[in-house]
Structure 1
Amino acid sequence: MRFGILLDHQYAKGEDVRARIGELVELVQHVRDAGYDSVFGVHHYLSNLATPQPLPVLSRIVEHSGDMALGTGILILPLGHPVHWAEEVATLDQMSGGRFVLGVGAGYREDEFAAFGLDLKRRSSRMFEALEVMEKLWTGEPVHHEGAHFQLDGVRCSVLPHGRPRPEIWVGANGPLGIRKAARHGYSWLAPSNVKRNWAVGNLETHRQESGPAGASLTRPIQRDLCLADSREEAFALAGEYARRSYSSYVEYGMDYFETMWQELCDKALFFGTPEEITAKIRDFAAAGFDHFVFRVQWLGCPPEVSHGIVERFAREVMPHFKESPR
């Protein structure tokens, strides 16, 4: 069983971004020293929050990440060109000694696609074709490609990933079609943080069936918001308002259910509670097949000491149930 942290580097406009990234480095050091397995960055353009871009942020923390995997959770792949992404990702994989995990998603925000002059309705097709092109580029051989979105004529990638033949790829998808396509392409499915247990488990089984025997070696990751305290009520008192503030920032993008169905989200999706309750939730999801939990412990306005406390308490009181000893 592996455990990671989602670095929520999204801040209120006007905040000191340089200072916040310094705090991010400190959090990564805490996560590393506590024995976690991975850290991930987030991605958006033109956001209503100040959102430093994930690849520069990840390059900043490489030297502080120990032997943890680090990656994107997720990178909105259709918004860029596969030549650009292939060389950027390969560079980070080289810098980390082959520890990079490429988490990708198709995106959903209309303003991002409009700004790049791209058709939102074709985002899934563009994403999977981009992955196809990137895999070709990472062979190091000349690439000839004539597709619906990209055309290449004998080009070669100038830097290749450290890990061969490519970094691990996780596809974030919120619908059965995208989950099936990820499975058929041989990619892991990254289950999102805001979905109910039965939906996540049912779609993981769909992914498992569609990927067939070749999928047996794939990672089965899931994201969740995490807060531990002496009671569930105390966990929400500690971090509930910060979490709600972060989810409310999505309302501007048509996700008003984060406001109207907030209590249901709290009850069904957030891992807020006592160490014993969190341990039971992880056992339940693990029994269904999930094996890499990526937790968000930062939210809008949340003091760093709260995030550090969550990281440390989970490592001290929950992680030993799933790991024989710290890494």
Structure 2
Amino acid sequence: METAVKFGILLDHQYRHGDDINRRVGELVEFTQHVRDLGFDSIFGIHHYLSSLSTPQPLPLLARLIDHSGSMQIGTGILILPLGHPVHWAEEIATIDQMSGGRFVLGVGAGYREDEFAAFGIDRRTRVSRMYEALECMHKLWTGEPVSHQGRHFALENARCSVLPVQKPGPPVWIGANGPVGIQRIARAGHPWLASSNVRRNWAVGNLAEYRAQRKAAGFDEEDMVFPIHRDLCVADSFEEAYAIAGAAARASYGEYVRYGMDYFETQWEAIKHKALFFGSPDDIAAKIEDFASAGFNHFIFRTQWLGLPIERSVEIVERFAREVMPRFRPKAEPAKARTSS
């Protein structure tokens, strides 16, 4: 099957407190080089503050990876935009877009963890309006013109961004949301919706269909449109073998969410592991990709790292995917024409 899909990697840079972060970042540099050479299209980092796990911040981490990422897109999947000021984000993102030569993708979300908002002195109930107003300000700043803005959350007076992004009118913005209301809001704003990894197939497909309908009703076409989704990936000879390799580590990673009130990752794990994880044989994985791609998803961002899993296992997963699954979704090269003597 020749389907116009792209494949990316979500770096799971979360570690037990006390781990050697410098060594772990070195592993991520080598891992990035490896997935680059295997032909992946993108690489993304994650974002949290005050986490139950030691979580290096994504923008300095991605800056470290730029020179090792080849032509891949790099980005955040996601950045919790309401926790920062749009001037700060505008200049930080413009800087990394310049450093990468215009390869940056700004994945954002509204956030959900109470302790993060409390620490920043921000009312969590305002997170969605703060996110959209911040994006509005950032796009104004990226024009390079002086910006005066008086909004609900931010006020700017003749502010002019000192660094502008390479990409115009700015880096692509993907927005994550896990509820129908939020997804419909993204559609009406015309941005790509970034579907999360833990949602089941029917939920993801159904919400994508509604998102596309809402987006079309708002007057947006789908030319060159990106429909991205996160998935957890482990390729082995069977689901059972894949789960034996990475199941305990994946469950441990999802178990951290229970600390933040998401107890369904504990109570519903048996259903989640079968309906949300891309675990299985190459044929199993290819069939899942074909299924999601036929529904419209066209940029799959795979997490192949989980809490406590040795990086060597993650390398084996991406290697087998690149060897036995990825070629099924890459256009076949045109045969070389025979030379004629003159």
Cα distance in 2 for partners of 1:38, 1:173 equals 21
Partner of 2:94: 90
Which residue is 1:303 aligned to? 310
Q: Distance in 1 between matches of 2:68 and 2:123?
A: 38
Q: TM-score, normalised by structure 2?
A: 0.94
Correspondence for 2:222 among 216, 222, 235 = 216
Partner SS, residue 307 of structure 2: coil
How many angstroms does 1:325 deviate by? 5.5
Question: Matches of 1:211 and 1:81 in 2, distance apart?
Answer: 28
TM superposition shift of 1:215: 4.0
Structure 2 residue aligned with 1:66: 70
Structure 1 distance, partners of 2:243, 2:35, is 22
Q: Secondary structure at the match of 1:97?
A: coil
2:337 aligned residue: none
Asked if 1:147 is matched to 2:161, the reply is no
Question: Partner of 1:321 in structure 2?
Answer: 328
Residue of structure 2 aligned with 1:182, choices 161, 186, 192: 186
RMSD across aligned positions (CA)? 0.9
Deviation at 1:154, TM superposition (A): 1.1
Which string of whole-angstrom CA distances, capped at 9 and with x for unpartnered residues, describes residues 65-89 of structure 1? 0000000000000000000001000
Match of 1:172 in 2: 176
Could you tell me how far 1:237 is from its partner in structure 2?
0.3
Query: Where does 1:93-104 land on structure 2 (aligned, <5 Å)?
Result: 93-104=97-108
Paired residue total: 326
Distance 1:98 1:211 in 2: 26
The corresponding residue for 1:255 is 262
**Aligned-partner Cα distance in 2 for 1:225–1:215:** 30
Cα distance, 1:107 vs structure 2: 0.3
Deviation at 1:180, TM superposition (A): 1.3
Unaligned residue ranges in structure 2 (runs of 5+): 334-342
In 2, Cα distance between the equivalents of 1:325 and 1:190? 28
> Are residue 18 (structure 1) and residue 22 (structure 2) matched?
yes
1 CA distance for matches of 2:111 and 2:175? 11
Asked if the contact 1:183/1:215 (under 8 Å) is kept, the reply is no
| 1:218-245, Cα deviation, whole Å (9 max, x unpaired) | 2100000000101110000011011011
Deviates more, 1:75-84 or 1:172-181: 172-181
Residue 50 to residue 281, structure 1, CA distance change in 2 (3 Å): same
Unaligned runs of 5+ in 1: none
Give CA deviations for 1:66-124 in whole Å, capped at 9, x if unaligned.
00000000000000000000100010100111100000000000000000000111101
The 10-residue stretch of structure 1 (239-248 or 202-211) with the greater mean CA deviation from structure 2: 202-211
Match of 1:121 in 2: 125
Higher radius of gyration, 1 or 2: 2
Tell me the CA shift for residue 184 of structure 1.
1.4
Cα drift, residue 255 of structure 1: 0.8
Contact kept, 8 Å, 1:208 with 1:215, in 2: the verdict is no
- List 4+ stretches of structure 1 deviating above 4 A: none
Matched AA of 1:219? V
Contact 1:145 1:151 in 2 (8 A): yes
Q: Which moved more, 1:24-33 or 1:211-220?
A: 211-220
**Letter aligned with residue 285 of structure 1:** F
> Residue type of the partner of 1:281?
K
Which residue identity is paired with 1:27? F
1-side partners of 2:295 and 2:215: how far apart? 16
Q: 1:209 deviation in Å?
A: 1.3
Is 1:271 the counterpart of 2:278 in the alignment? yes
Instruction: State the one-letter code of the partner of 2:71.
Output: D
SS at match of 2:220: helix
Q: More deviation in 202-211 or 28-37?
A: 202-211
CA distance in 1, matches of 2:202, 2:143: 39
- Provide the rounded CA distance (Å) in 2 between the counterparts of 1:204 and 1:230: 30
TM-score between the two structures when normalised by the length of structure 1: 0.98
Q: Tell me the SS of whatever aligns to 1:310.
A: helix
